[in-house]
Structure 1
Amino acid sequence: MKKDQLITRRKALVAGAAVLGAAGAVGTARVLTADPAAQPVRVPPRSGPQAARAVKPSAYRLQPITGYGPPLSAPGRTVVRHEPFLRMSGRGRTMVLTFDDGPDPLYTPDVLRILREYDVRATFFVCGEMANDNKDLLGKMADDGHIVGNHTWTHPLLTSLSRSRIRSEIERTSKVIKNAYGESPAWFRAPYGAWNRATFQIQADLGMEPLAWTIDTNDWATPGVRSIVGTVEKEAAPGVVVLSHDAGGNRSQSVQALREYLPHLLDSGYHLTVPRRNGV
């Protein structure tokens, strides 16, 4: 498949997350806000030739594997959301940095070193088969105070899977995270930002809240360091959630961009933190 076709497909999949607004919160306290500029975007159909093309792994995506883990008991009841969190509330100029698809032994250590250098905490949404092969990196994330979230086992398009397959993808990843990180994940991010009712219900049953993003750096398409830096610096605002990647392909641009925009954000007065269930 040609590179431009891969990029077009990926953009179509991730665009769906932009239309997901604020989730309901308990009482009058809101832990997220909707983006008023977001416009509805159709997600890929669940059946037929288009669906088959949409779920076919691209050259840089994780390959599917089979297997089912034992059931995990949820660490307490979690509200079943209908939409993921897009923006996190909080006082002052707060932002949340997130990294998807890892951990990768080549790029994740560099990301961790940069964050440690500036004493910044971030959230890593890891894929189970990557985490299973790099458990030591999850331990380092725990030591540095980062949050580790669930990003499924093989990064599939969940809206095309059965409930049992969705549960397997999420449940197995939670087990690996708990064993390596020391705690069960409290946050979940659907691959491509594609949630459905079953996904919301299953993640809630496993004790997780859904988190999307506000700023998509598009670093997965390797647009260049200046493009990534420019996107983050231009769209930076209180409460936004930044999407980047530390795996799934050549992420040297993502690493270099982080090294450039991170000090700029700090010098601009932003407090880079991690999401909390009751807000930032």
Structure 2
Amino acid sequence: MRLAVALTLSVASITSPRAHIVSSGSGHARVVVLTFDAGADRGYASSILRILERNHLHATFGMTGRWADQNPDLMRQMARDHDTFINHTFDHQSFTGLSTGLRPLSTASRSWEVEETERAVRRLTGQTTKPYFRPPYGDYDTATLVLVRRLGYRYMVMWTVDSLGWQHLPARQIVSRCLSLVRPGAILLMHVGSQSQDALALQAIVDGLRHRSYRFETVPELLAGA
């Protein structure tokens, strides 16, 4: 019986619709997407929003439910600024345990992480995170792709360039890294937390990309042009 159930689940995972993994655009246009994950402290979020507003830019935020609940004022500002929200789970637990060394989350726990974040974002902003999901640490498996698709998330948004600001790189190295690795259609991954100097590098990154004739898009705009 157990074998039969296991085989049934395995076949279901193979045949069920899955979220589409997106790590870049088509590359046909000189566009770049700025994404910021918000999973730790309030950090430099206010500074990032000021820089975006000053440069007339919209960004995409990988939002954890816990961060949203703790920062309702910033959530509402992001919504007013027409930024995009990606579901980044409630408290940033690895679904698979690959990056943390912990046990994988159960299907029920994974579902709660996703659905509770959607409820938080909706309650605070009236907006939805669907159809965009980003797994904590970038950890996912086939079951993740199937589950989030079933929950209404058609796209698993990854990235082309990780600024590595979360590894405590100084701002000048973040700028150099992002500008050297960027390519048409790139999705840049940065963070709002105080452990990262991404905010301190942001204006120089924007200036450098504009000097190279890049345009800025959100994730929905990138996918619409794919």
Same fold (TM over 0.5): yes
1:80 aligns with 2:18: yes
Matches within 5 A, 1:224-239: 224-239=170-185
Of residues 63, 71, 80 in structure 2, which corresponds to 1:134? 71
Matches within 5 A, 1:138-217: 138-159=75-96, 160-186=104-130, 187-208=132-153, 209-217=155-163
Q: What is the CA distance between 1:90 and its match in structure 2?
A: 6.3
Q: Secondary structure at the match of 2:21?
A: coil
Q: Secondary structure at the match of 1:84?
A: strand
Question: Aligned AA for 1:89?
Answer: S
Work out whether residues 148 and 181 of structure 1, in 8 Å CA contact, stay in contact via their aligned partners in 2: no
In structure 2, the partner of 1:267 is 211
Question: Aligned AA for 1:80?
Answer: R
- State the Cα deviation string for residues 144-194 of structure 1 (Å, max 9, x = none): 111011111111110111101111111100111111222211211001111
In structure 1, the partner of 2:9 is none
Of residues 175, 185, 189 in structure 2, which corresponds to 1:243? 189
In structure 1, the partner of 2:4 is none
Work out whether residues 39 and 66 of structure 2, in 8 Å CA contact, stay in contact via their aligned partners in 1: no
Matches within 5 A, 1:9-20: none
Sequence identity percentage = 32
2: CA distance, partners of 1:278 / 1:233: 24
Q: Secondary structure at the match of 1:158?
A: coil
Gaps of 5+ in 2: 1-16, 97-103
Q: Secondary structure at the match of 1:201?
A: helix
- State the Cα deviation string for residues 91-120 of structure 1 (Å, max 9, x = none): 520111111134843411100100111111
2: CA distance, partners of 1:132 / 1:226: 32
2: CA distance, partners of 1:267 / 1:182: 36
1: CA distance, partners of 2:27 / 2:123: 31
- Tell me how many residue pairs correspond in the alignment: 200
- State the Cα deviation string for residues 23-71 of structure 1 (Å, max 9, x = none): xxxxxxxxxxxxxxxxxxxxxxxxxxxxxxxxxxxxxxxxxxxxxxxxx
In structure 2, the partner of 1:10 is none
Structure number with the higher strand fraction is 2
Gaps of 5+ in 1: 1-78
User: What RMSD in Å do the two structures reach over aligned CA positions?
Assistant: 1.9
In structure 1, the partner of 2:202 is 258
Tell which has more relative contact order, 1 or 2 (C-alpha 8 A, sep 6+).
Answer: 2
The 3 A distance-change label for structure 1 pair 115 and 92 is same
Q: What is the CA distance between 1:275 and its match in structure 2?
A: 1.4
